[in-house]
Amino acid sequence: MKKVLKVGIIGTGWISNQHINGYLQCDHVEIAAVADINENAAREVMRKYNLDCKYYSDYKKLLANSEIDAISICVPNAFHSEVTIAAAMAGKHIMAEKPFVSSIEEAKKSLKAIKENGVKCAVGYHRRFNPLYREMKRLINKGDLGRVFFAQSDYIHNFSDLPIISWALKKEFNPSVFHAGGGHCVDMIRYLVNDEIAEVCAFVDNSTCPECETEAQTIAIFRFQNGQLGKVTSICPNVITPFTFNVEVYGTKGTFKNNKLILDSFPDFRSKKQSEAYAVYPEWMPDNTPGITEPWDIEIKEFVNWVLNDDEKTDLCTAQDAVRAAEACWAAVISNAEKRIVKLPLIDFV
């Protein structure tokens, strides 16, 4: 096992703070370099975290540094694949922010580069490490919920006051708002149902946000290969409500709705009184701020361990998983545009 993992941060916008914070909590990591075309932004991040490391204005020069073992990709969404391919060809392990890729061609090229260069690549669907969803996954795997037949998740977010608003509504930098936000939900229901999505039908409306160049409001319906159904709702950025990320899983023996669990073994499971019907977990629903509900730090620690220990098993969203989630998001966009059900996969290999 390599004693110290030397990491480079590419892109020093808002999300880079979550990656850096995670790496600083690891015993066997050194942040060796940062890269950003905006030197002032990069220097500010270096100052904020007291990073004694190299700065590059060109990320390709960072990748040319032979001392760096792994990188975090924190650039705007449209450039994730470009940097992934370059990093893989440079032999660097990759922690890429989501969405991973923006087209079928990008997906094929990215997966090919990762495979041919023997690097590990994880994608930032960090909510897999939220304790509520880990508990859902545990109970599903144990069989306590029976056969899961329906799962749904909502991504409702007014991000008008976040720095990303300057680029997130522009197709040039963020090719799909649904993929960028609702992709979290698609990954989550795939992760919990543990099956591949086979068919997608979706509807999009931009009436509340005409400045959005892609999708402001999306409802997508999914059918999995083994017949289970799923639904994802994505509403952003102009919505009058706090950040909301709901997850509900329905099985033949039990239901898990956000932080409330009900099993058929509960004597009062048909009761209208929630205190009698449910086992209630702490309110660990995501709130889009760092902490136990948004475990970016746990995700980064898992990535470090995955790389250093060379372990094939991981709960991280791998590049292959991220492509499957991306396909489902693209299929939703196609379904709305062409007014038809779209069958998956769109890519004939992963």
The answer, yes or no, to whether the previous bond of 290 is cis (omega within 30 of 0) is no
75 and 208 fall within a common domain? no
Which CATH number goes with the domain that contains 195?
A: 3.30.360.10
66 and 209 fall within a common domain? no
338 neighbors 203 (Cβ within 8 angstroms):
no
pLDDT of residue 275: 61
pLDDT of residue 304: 97
pLDDT of residue 2: 65
234 and 332 fall within a common domain? yes
**Span between the terminal Cα atoms of the chain, in Å:** 28
pLDDT tens track, the chain, 350 positions:
568 999 999 999 999 999 999 999 999 999 999 999 999 999 999 999 999 999 999 999 999 999 999 999 999 999 999 999 999 999 999 999 999 999 999 999 999 999 999 999 999 999 999 999 999 999 999 999 999 999 999 999 998 877 888 889 999 999 999 999 999 999 999 999 999 999 999 999 999 899 999 999 999 999 999 999 999 999 998 889 999 999 999 999 999 999 999 999 887 777 766 666 789 999 999 999 999 999 999 999 999 999 999 878 899 999 999 999 999 999 999 999 999 999 999 987 65
136 and 121 fall within a common domain? no
- Residue 172: inside a domain: yes
218 and 339 fall within a common domain? yes
Domain region containing 310: 5-126+297-316
pLDDT of residue 349: 65
pLDDT of residue 164: 82
190 and 339 fall within a common domain? yes
Express each pLDDT in 112-151 by its tens digit: 999 999 999 999 999 999 999 999 999 999 999 999 999 9
153 and 243 fall within a common domain? yes
221 and 336 fall within a common domain? yes
**DSSP E strand boundaries for the chain:** 5-10, 29-35, 54-56, 70-73, 93-96, 121-123, 148-156, 197-205, 217-224, 229-235, 244-251, 254-257, 260-263, 279-280, 317-318, 342-343
196 and 336 fall within a common domain? yes
19 and 161 fall within a common domain? no
Q: How far apart, in whole angstroms, are the C-alpha atoms of residue 39 and residue 60?
A: 15
